[in-house]
Structure 1
Amino acid sequence: MSVKENFEKAKLDYERWGVNVEEALEKLKSVPISIHCWQGDDIGGFEVNQQELSGGIDVTGNYPGKATNPEQLRSDIEKALSLIPGKHRINLHAIYGETNGEVVERDEIKPEHFENWVNWAKQHGIGLDFNPTLFSHPKAEDGLTLAHPDKETRDFWIRHCIASRKIGEYFGKELGTPALTNIWIPDGYKDIPSDRLTPRQRLKDSLDEIFKEEIDEKYNIDAVESKLFGIGSEAYVVGSHEFYLGYALKNNKLCLLDTGHYHPTEVVSNKISAMLLYSDQLALHVSRPVRWDSDHVIVLDDELREIGLEIVRNDALDKVMIGLDFFDASINRVAAWTIGTRNMIKSLLYALLLPNDTLKQFQEEGNFTDRLALFEEFKTYPFGAIWDYYCEQMEVPVKEAWLDEVKTYEKEVLSKR
């Protein structure tokens, strides 16, 4: 049977439960995923005085073909985008600016250093998001930045974040879609601190200074990202979930949840509905922790499906800004982007194809038998036939055919670097 024939047959199964499959696909088309550029070069960036990774971040593996300049990275991203259904966004870090061989300190970065990225984004009709880079730098070697006890160091990073917000604003003005500019810092202590409050007070004061200038949210949206622990900050992280949740709510900023930044038994999916009661929007960085914040390529596991379900069944597709954050150098990097992003989209489609109103009604009625039975039966519904049709309609490879294209790209492009 053809993809279309399989789709029509599968659609009948879903329609028996009142699921409008065509409507689900139309909704899915409108959801952009913010794809992180740093998978393509192992978070190296293009600074002239490039530094070793620090801040509790590690990328393992040495698969051949890593992008070593902006043109290569953009080419690799283009290849990945050609294999992923839908229209998406690209998320940049400050270290991906282009300075024409000039050493530019991070507190002096300007929109002009990202002009090539903007022109490229215009060419492809996509939006850009941004992140200041508060790691892999001599002024972050001791694991402290915005919460540093030294005022000169704090002020340096404050200036960097202010400059980053102006770059986000530039993206929004040029591309006609607001940039999400997200602040994450590595600050913390390896062993038990003797004072938890003072560093948090310094961080609060630093953020207040960074956000002092108002920027129109039609150009730039500010977000802050928490973390539970990291390498070098096992005992204490200044920017905890509670700290940033409180700061975001009080100061009308987005709280960004990274799925790898919590206790191993703590899940982000369970936080989404609670936070949406008090926030108009929230943001995600979707990763896959394996025993720690190890940023594996996301797979279509239970938690990813639950994240998709929480977004869809709570009518929050336009309230949750979905970004990705994983980096694996042990496999083909274009394949990593493709696998992870397609899985994120699959989780949303899976959720859109559930009879969510019926399942909610079962719960309200206390009919937990039917609720569980239906949840389980839908796991083996012909979801794949709907996904294949969506890919075909969006003119990207169906099933694993994308892998052949990646292998060809590796042979013709990546292997020659």
Structure 2
Amino acid sequence: MSYDSAKAAFADWGVDTEEALKRLAGIPISMHCWQGDDVVGFETRSGRSGGGIQATGNHPGRARTPDELRADLAFCYGLIPGNHRLNLHACYLDTDQSPDRDEITFSHFAPWVDWAKDQGLGLDFNPTFFAHEKADDNLTLSHPDQGIRDFWIEHGKRTREIAAQMGAALGTPCVNNIWVPDGYKDTPIDRMAPRRRLEHALDAIMAAPQDKAQMRDAVESKLFGIGVEACTIGSHEFYLGYAIRKGTLLCLDMGHFHPTENVADKLSAVALSLDEILLHVSRPMRWDSDHVILLDDAILQMAQELVSADLLGRTHIGLDFFDATISRTAAWVIGTRNMQKALLRALLAPWDRLRAAENTLDYTSRLVVSEEIKDLPYAAVWAEFCDRMGVAQGQALIGDLQRYQQKVVGRG
């Protein structure tokens, strides 16, 4: 079907496709660096796994250097319509030096900032509280040893400073998201003490004020993890309360909740108490396995909630998955485009008609409309978006992905 025919079909339902395309073009997605190298990073001191984080598989083409990773990212951004961001972890420094985590400075990430400026990208940032000898107990900011806590507090302080400098250099606020793997494998005797230590450590990290025009603080919860099955110190309830009290963003990661929970349902609930939200979009399979996102019900519901509740202007959308069994560049491209496709479908819904039916308790009409619009020609509108943005689709996209994979296959 042609775009003009699709435009007319949506107009019959009172939907303006041009307005939807305009809005979609203005929604940045923060693509995560760690998909490209299986969450290894470029530290000379570490390069160890930990924190319950593991990418399985050994597909050829893993990026081994910052230059290789940037080349892969640039290729992917060329296949993703719109202007987007890069989410960088602190273990991805680009320097000949060997600073420990409590010694990093903006200079160790300056090549990333220069590259982002050339690419027209915004940057987001994350302290790395895992894959380090001082995190081997699965305790960092809540560790009973003051010296270990001080080490990680200093790391957190430095990442906030780096994030602020990134935001200033690029002219767009850098979200600095804190996630720690802290918890216990078996049932603890005292849950209150480590949570108090975590709260005090977070307060120390965020004590110095930063300009919100340059950086935003976010905190991220988790249900449980490998090695912390019995108790996760930074639970959803802990961070929800902390974010409300301290005025930070709350990060909702789709893989960090019970498999039967609907994370989309949480958006409007927390939005009543928070100014801004950070999303990490993932696809959990038997909990937090971080599969590449599909255009499935969970993603569609997340996008629908963002649009229906008018939360797009208050929500930072980032991705968080890593799969080493497939082409890493293909994973980035398909995952990011699926997030955009879900947003487009949400933007093309006849919300006024649906709300009117619901508000008059006409659930039959709500159901009929919800089901009938599933047959509308969304693909034609997406194809028009890709054409206007000058990116490949369909068979051409597959060919581009396959050719690039052949270029990097020799990396081993």
When the two structures are superposed, what TM-score results if normalisation uses the length of structure 2?
0.99
| Residues 1:286 and 1:38: Cα distance change in structure 2 (over 3 Å) | same
Q: Which residue in 2 is equivalent to 1:80?
A: 76
**Between the two proteins, what is the percent identity of the paired residues?**
52
Q: Which residue of 2 aligns with 1:378?
A: 373
Match of 1:96 among 82, 92, 105: 92
Q: Kindly provide the CA deviation profile for residues 346-377 of structure 1, in whole angstroms up to 9, marking residues without a partner as x.
A: 11000000001110110001111111111111
Shift of 1:295: 0.3
Q: 2:186 aligns with which of 182, 188, 191?
A: 191
2:96 counterpart of 1:107: no
Per the alignment, residue 47 of structure 2 pairs with 51
Using the alignment, how far apart are the partners of 2:264 and 2:405 within structure 1?
A: 36
- What is the CA RMSD across the aligned residues, in angstroms? 0.9
Question: In 1, Cα distance between the equivalents of 2:225 and 2:354?
Answer: 39
Q: Tell me, what secondary structure is at the counterpart of 2:219?
A: strand
Distance in 2 separating the partners of 1:416 and 1:33: 28
> For the Cα contact (< 8 Å) 1:388–1:399, is it kept in 2?
no
CA distance in 2, matches of 1:370, 1:401: 40
- Asked if residue 159 in structure 1 is aligned to residue 154 in structure 2, the reply is yes
Q: 2:21 matched to 1:18?
A: no
- Note the C-alpha offset of 1:400: 4.1
Match for residue 63 of structure 1 among 59, 62, 74: 59
Partners of 1:70 and 1:307 in 2: CA distance: 32
Aligned match of 2:282: 287
Partner of 2:174: 179
Q: Tell me the residue number matched to 1:320.
A: 315
Distance 2:407 2:144 in 1: 51
Of 352, 356, 367, which residue of structure 2 is paired with 1:361? 356
Q: Does 1:30 align with 2:31?
A: no
Aligned mates of 1:37, 1:58 — CA distance in 2 = 15
Q: CA deviation at 1:316?
A: 1.5
Alpha-carbon offset, residue 299 of structure 1: 0.4
The residue type paired with residue 237 of structure 1 is T
**Structure 1 residue 414, shift from structure 2 partner:** 3.7
Identify unmatched segments of 5+ residues in structure 2: none
Give the CA deviation at 1:51. Answer: 2.8
Code of the aligned partner of 1:86: G
Inter-partner Cα distance in structure 2 for 1:402 and 1:312: 28
What is the one-letter code of the residue matched to 2:286? R
Q: TM-score, normalised by structure 1?
A: 0.97
2:55, 2:149 → 1: CA distance?
Answer: 27
Q: Per-residue displacement from partner, 1:120-147 (whole Å, max 9, x unpaired)?
A: 0110111000000000000000100000
Runs of 4+ off more than 6 Å: none
- Given candidates 232, 249, 253, the residue that maps to 1:254 is 249
Aligned mates of 1:165, 1:222 — CA distance in 2: 8
Deviations 1:150-184 (A, max 9, x none): 00000000000000001100111100000000000
Q: Cα–Cα, structure 1 residues 397 and 52, in superposed 2: closer, same or farther, change >3 Å?
A: same
**2:28 aligns to what SS in structure 1?**
coil
Aligned counterpart, 1:298: 293
Q: Distance in 2 between the 1:289 and 1:300 partners? A: 13
Match for residue 168 of structure 1 among 163, 167, 180: 163
Q: Cα offset for 1:220?
A: 0.5
The number of equivalent residue pairs is 412
After TM superposition, give the deviation of residue 416 of structure 1 in Å.
5.2
Aligned mates of 1:393, 1:137 — CA distance in 2: 45
